[in-house]
Chain A
Amino acid sequence: MMLSKRIVKETQRLMSEPVPGISASPLNDNLRYFNVAISGPVESPFEGGVFHLELFLTDDYPMAAPKVRFLTKIYHPNIDKLGRICLDILKDKWSPALQIRTVLLSIQALLSAPNPDDPLANDVAEHWKSNEKDAIATARDWTKRYANTQ
């Protein structure tokens, strides 16, 4: 399938005006597949880490949401151990007016504000609700262990 004008424009803009703390670049041989890196937001348990994700634009894009998944292990109540993300705009709240940029910004925001009341990883969410301090410590530990670039 030919790459739509929209995907070309979006890609150009992502490269020329990158979002702070987010990088996204398509593969050379598949311009619908993006390698994404999001740095952990400051004052979050993920601060200091760099999280790698994959993002794929299906043939239905932009009528259907892109497929996004964490590749880096992360301790977060809305992200499961396969890296799948529970985020409304990736599901029923998707609008064709949203873009790769807005999706990645929403994921970054999710890192700053975990929502244990709408969990994907139940055990993590339970931990978060019963002992937030301890859960945050685990998240920090995981960040150091798996998302540390040094």
Chain B
Amino acid sequence: MDTLLAQMVDMGFDAEVSRFALEQTHCAGVQPAIEFIYAMNDKPNAAGFKPSTPQRQTTTTIDNNNNNNNNTSSLGRQGTSSLSQPTKKIRTSIRDSNESFDSDEEYYQDVDDYEFDSPIVEVANVTNTVIQASEIAKTALKEIEKITNITDATPCAATLMLLKYQWNSNKLLEQYYEDPDRVMKQAGVPEKEEFTAFASVKGEDCIVCMDDLSRKNGCFLSCNHAACVQCWTTYVEGKISEGESISMTCLAYKCGTIVSDSFIKKVIPQYYNKYLERLALTFVDKNPNMRWCPTAGCGNALKADSQSESIAQCTCGFRICFKCNQESHIPASCDQVKQWKKKCEDDSETANWISSHTQDCPKCHSAIEKNGGCNHMSCKKCTHEFCWICMGNWKGHSNCNAYKKEENSNKSETKKALERYLFYFHRYNTHEQSKKFETKLRKGALDTIMAFQNKKDKRWIDVKFIETSTEVLIQCRRTLKYTYVFGFYLQDGAEKNLFEYLQNDLERTTENLSGMLEKGEDQNVQQLKEMTNLASTKLNHLIEGVEEGLTAHGTKKKF
């Protein structure tokens, strides 16, 4: 035990934590103990021992500044337990920048003093619950069970009522206690849930296949529409594959009798599980607080913990806007994005032609295809370094994000409008492309970490933040992408100038971070860490700036 403990302490783990982990994993080795620590970190209370875990903060609502007042002062060094990645949010807003920006300085000073313990600044975190695809059915059934336990309604009735109340069990129970009969009636709960299965019905034929029902093969609900087992099976199978579950009615024409879950369990047990799966889908589909993760093949469900929440993040990394079901589009509003996408569709022919995937090197004019996310390009042929976005020389290049109006007024208005649109579209598209490349980095983050460890002889703990860096980078890209939508619809003026300043600031930092991450293990760990923090801070500035109104006259934006 002592040797293992010594090894772990040597690797940078806290002695107390290591001892606990080793005990819990019966001293099976260093690896299981480390895994245990990480697992524990994800589920703080699981083992009754609480290692320091990142505090999650909501930054998506507008009026939460008050909660963060104490953060600036506590930004300093965290405890030596390397497990902690303290989540700190530097309070920033444009108006009181002087007051809170000393935190920036404070932070850098901090880095000098304690080289390996600088905290990672986290950006706009979201506090939603993610229900894994495999857990959805269980979660739905738990909800149903909760209602059946409290109200002693049948599972079928409970489900119908939950559906009626969009799976809001509190509201349902409230109303149920006031007037159970009314609630049951409104939800379409059948008065009698009785059914007859495997009966011989003398002198009657199955209403579907016209076989006679004298061989213990007749089944019917309380409405007495008798059909044979075979026909019921085919019918239910078809309805389930069409996506129906609890709303399924008797197979007779215009008969509204609900096919209860107990009937299916008894008559068609082989489809009962499928039936429950379908039911679970309505748990997400019909629940206003839940959304499916739109990533292909993901299948997880996202649940907002409160009504005011507008953004949710899936464990696969996708961020969704709860209001419009699209990718999270801060700082642009839902309407702006909708308008923008429509515009992009309308103008796509021209836009595609103009912003096709290759561009010519501004110096030697060889065609260049971009194969990474970083927009700092260097031509393979002539080694000219330029910015992919504005095609200007990278050296001394500072702001390429502001659209410059051309003085030459010979051009027609429409042409100018098209050019303006293409300017924004080009940038929007470039960031989208970059984001795609950088999403691939997410998968490679672990490899990079390993490479760092081997090459630089660093502790795992010291380089684990690279995962966070990648996430920060992707968030920066996503936000930058939508800043061009926001910018496109922003009126000229002081607000726009300030916005473009922040945008430019973020853009440069993002490019730097992207370049560093793409270089992989050749990077200086400390520089990368600093750049990550810088990027998060800039991103926070921009988002908060827009949220709070960029200038005193600027209107508050709601997402």
Contacts and interface: CB of A to CB of B under 8 A. Distances in A.
A137 interface: no
Nearest to A89: B253
Interface string A57-95: 000101110000000000000000000000001000101
B251 A6 contact: no
B209 A4 contact: yes
A95 B251 contact: yes
Given A95-B251, A95-B252, A97-B251, A5 B234 contact: no
A89 B231 CA distance: 19
Contact of B210 (A6, A95, A102): A6
A97 B252 contact: yes
A96 interface: yes
Contacts of B253: 89, 93, 95, 97-98, 102
B211 A62 contact: no
Contacts of A97: 207-208, 225, 227, 251-253
A96 B255 CA distance: 12
A96 B210 contact: no
A96 B208 contact: yes
B234 A63 contact: yes
Interface in B224-264: 225, 227, 231, 234-235, 238, 251-255
A9 B210 contact: yes
Contact of B209 (A6, A89, A102): A6
B207 to A, nearest CB: 4
Contact of B208 (A62, A64, A102): A62
B225 A62 contact: no
A32 to B, nearest CB: 15
Contacts of A4: 209
Contacts of A63: 234-235, 238
Contacts of B254: 93, 95
Most chain A CB within 10 A, of B210, B225, B235, is at B210
A89 B235 CA distance: 16
Contacts of B225: 97
A74 B318 CA distance: 53
A89 B225 CA distance: 18
A93 B208 CA distance: 15
What range describes how many residues of A lie at the interface?
Answer: 10 to 19
A95 B238 CA distance: 12
Nearest to A62: B208
A96 B211 contact: no
Contacts of A93: 253-254
A97 B231 CA distance: 10
A5 B251 CA distance: 19
Contact of B251 (A9, A10, A64, A96): A96
Contacts of A62: 208-209
A5 B238 CA distance: 20
A4 B211 CA distance: 10
A98 B255 CA distance: 12
A5 B209 contact: yes
Nearest to B231: A96
Most chain B CB within 10 A, of A64, A95, A102, is at A95
B254 to A, nearest CB: 7
A101 to B, nearest CB: 12
A132 B208 CA distance: 40
B352 to A, nearest CB: 34
Interface in A1-40: 4-6, 9-10
Given A93-B253, A93-B254, A95-B252, 4 more contacts: A5-B210, A63-B234, A95-B254, A97-B225
Interface of B: 207-211, 225, 227, 231, 234-235, 238, 251-255
Which 10 A-B pairs give the minimum distances between C-beta atoms?
A95-B253, A96-B208, A97-B207, A97-B252, A6-B209, A6-B210, A9-B210, A97-B253, A63-B238, A98-B253
15 contacts: A4-B209, A5-B210, A6-B208, A6-B209, A9-B210, A60-B238, A62-B208, A63-B238, A89-B253, A95-B251, A95-B252, A95-B255, A96-B235, A97-B207, A97-B252
